[in-house]
Structure 1
Amino acid sequence: MSRIFDALKRSEAERSGIDLSERSQAAEMMQRTERGIPPRWKTTVLSEHLDTPKSADRDALSGLPSKPHGETLSESSVAVELPQTEEQLNPFGQFRSLQVALGPQSRLVSLAESASPAAEAFRLLTVRLRHLRRDQTLKKVLITSTIPQEGKSMVAGNLACTLAVKTQQKILLLEGDLRRPSLSKMFGLGRNPGLCEWLEGESSLAASIYHLEEPDIWILPAGSAPSNALELLQSGRLSTLMDRLTAWFDWIIIDSPPVLPLADTSVWMRLADGILLATRQGSTEKRQLLRGLEAIERRKLIGALVNSSNNAATSDYYYSPATIPHK
């Protein structure tokens, strides 16, 4: 009898010790959690002394498939496979490559005449943009002008190519002038689906962006000319698109429409980090320039470029900081 009594006491003591140990661990876990300190033991292992549902009940509660008697579910068999989106995939493995075909009178001096003074001017512009980037967010750079035919598309194309050479980063050239696109023709690409098709839901993003191997940049062309350009740009899909592109690329150079004739540029200006204004000597009138400046967010204006300038001793193009008169 005494031996049975002693055994019962030992058993009770052991159970009491287990309960105290678990209470102590639970209390310590709560204290460490409140202080933001991770627990010192694996909390995924359930104690065999806790009242847990039977395996079939656990499966029913968790929504997992019931397992046959005597079989166990491995970790891989219960993993839920979620559908992958374009953001989760590596986008650069999806984009089709296109060959650049420059004409004899190509305006892409950064590729066709890399040793020319004009190409050097774009290298200088690249250096200044990189310096500005040290002090402010500057990933999405908008190139615009006051009126058409002032060389904004030429500036955008050359700037994108020069950035690719100088920085070895991922550069996207975005053709935002949906009404009068010219970048695809400048690079000799022909007509391909692009921004319009994606905004209309007719094309995937992977089928709308192309890699240009020669300058090692990516381009999102305008695509087919729509009849409702402003309506497409004002849709919520454009903001979603820019968020996605910003996560993918180091620089996004946007060739937008001119400021004065159209309202399209105001949409792009809201999405850009900085704005470069292209002007042409002998073409841009002062009153037009001032009207254009009134439509631009001055806090985003980072500079102006003068095309065909006689004031630059050895260059056809030069960069001027944003010391532009207000009136």
Structure 2
Amino acid sequence: MSRIHEALKRAEMERAAQQAQSETSVSARFESTAVPFERATPAAEAPATEPAPLTLETLLERCPQGEWHPDPKTMLFLQPHSHSAGTEEFRTLRARLYKVREKHPLKTLLITSALPAEGKSFVAANLAQVFVRQHERRVLLIDADLRWSRLHLSLGTNLYPGLSDYLRGDADLFSIVQRSPQGNLFFIPGGRSASNPNELLINGRLRELLQQMAPLFDWIVIDSPPAIPVSDAALLAGLADGVLLVVRAAQTPFDLAQKVRQEFRDKPLLGAVLNCVPPAASYGSYYQYRYPQNGKRKD
């Protein structure tokens, strides 16, 4: 029995030795054929490439001059005689804005009002016009009132593609920018109707657009929705260097104008523009008298 036991034990030891040799051989074989592994960089961790800065040459090439048919009733500076009542007030406003610019950075202006029908679009359009009448000044006018776009009617041009289409991702920058026949006024219309204008204005694309455009223009004028009914104007004010509140004479309730002033207390509110002042009470009536329609005066 002892010999049988010893034989079994010896056989077991031999099997163990053979198994150990086999495992060592397999391990060595895998080690010799192993390929070094390099960790791939996920797409999210790959360095982001910023788009090349927009140049004026590219903008002029991609946005040819269009044919506009401006409304002479609302576009004061496109009338044959640009010294009618109202034009001098815009020249005065322009001069005051340049005074502000001497002390504070000021390029992007937001034009709003307390309520609809107070003339904010009229002020925005003519302020852009009075800026562009200066020598070699380039101005970008943007209709950011996506709820009730009207600037295209004053300029006599197309409504879309426009800002809402760009913010939705349905149009690129060059397809929404229109260039006036005079050449130095550029315009972005409101675009197609949007069911969610507030969300579009805060999705980040408008901020990117303004950052791209700012180096190319002397002034950017933005027409916004009225401030009391909706919050769009307050959101847009965060993208502007200055805000002008349009107040309609004998119509805008004082308490509503004060409410807007209070709501914009942390915004760059520059002041109010009094609109629809009777001619006899306006400063412009004096200049209309000084510069008759057949007279000439340089801007």
CA offset at residue 128 of structure 1? 1.3
Q: What secondary structure is seen at the aligned counterpart in 2 of 1:98?
A: coil
User: 1:256 matched to which residue of 2?
Assistant: 224
Please give the TM-score of this superposition, normalised by the length of structure 1.
0.67
User: 1:108 matched to which residue of 2?
Assistant: 75
Q: C-alpha offsets along residues 11-46 of structure 1, whole Å, 9 cap, x if unaligned? A: xxxxxxxxxxxxxxxxxxxxxxxxxxxxxxxxxxxx
CA offset at residue 315 of structure 1? 4.1
Task: Tell whether the 8 Å contact from 2:121 to 2:150 is kept in structure 1 after alignment.
Answer: yes
Please give the TM-score of this superposition, normalised by the length of structure 2.
0.73
2:178 matches 1:210: yes
User: 2:54 matched to which residue of 1?
Assistant: 87
Where is the helix percentage greater, Structure 1 or Structure 2?
2
* One of 136, 140, 161 as aligned partner of 1:172: 140
Question: What is the distance in 1 between the residues matched to 2:136 and 2:147?
Answer: 32
Amino acid at match of 1:153: S
User: 2:206 matched to which residue of 1?
Assistant: 238
Question: What is the distance in 1 between the residues matched to 2:158 and 2:174?
Answer: 18
Higher relative contact order (CA 8 A, sep 6+): 2
Question: What is the distance in 2 between the residues matched to 1:93 and 1:169?
Answer: 18
Distance 1:165 1:195, change over 3 A: same
Question: What is the distance in 2 between the residues matched to 1:229 and 1:153?
Answer: 18
2:240 matches 1:290: no
Structure 2: unaligned runs, 5 residues or longer: 1-48, 287-299
Task: Tell whether the 8 Å contact from 1:107 to 1:186 is kept in structure 2 after alignment.
Answer: yes
Amino acid at match of 1:117: A
Q: What secondary structure is seen at the aligned counterpart in 1 of 2:274?
A: strand
Question: What is the distance in 2 between the residues matched to 1:284 and 1:84?
Answer: 45
Q: What secondary structure is seen at the aligned counterpart in 2 of 1:117?
A: coil
Task: Tell whether the 8 Å contact from 1:100 to 1:187 is kept in structure 2 after alignment.
Answer: yes
CA offset at residue 300 of structure 1? 1.1
* One of 220, 239, 249 as aligned partner of 1:281: 249
Q: What secondary structure is seen at the aligned counterpart in 2 of 1:143?
A: strand
User: 2:104 matched to which residue of 1?
Assistant: 136
* One of 214, 225, 228 as aligned partner of 2:196: 228
Structure 1: unaligned runs, 5 residues or longer: 1-81, 317-327
Pairwise CA RMSD: 2.1
Aligned length in residues: 234
Distance 1:138 1:83, change over 3 A: closer
Question: What is the distance in 1 between the residues matched to 2:185 and 2:61?
Answer: 14
Give 4+ residue runs of structure 1 displaced > 4 Å after superposition.
82-86
Which structure would you say has the larger Rg?
2
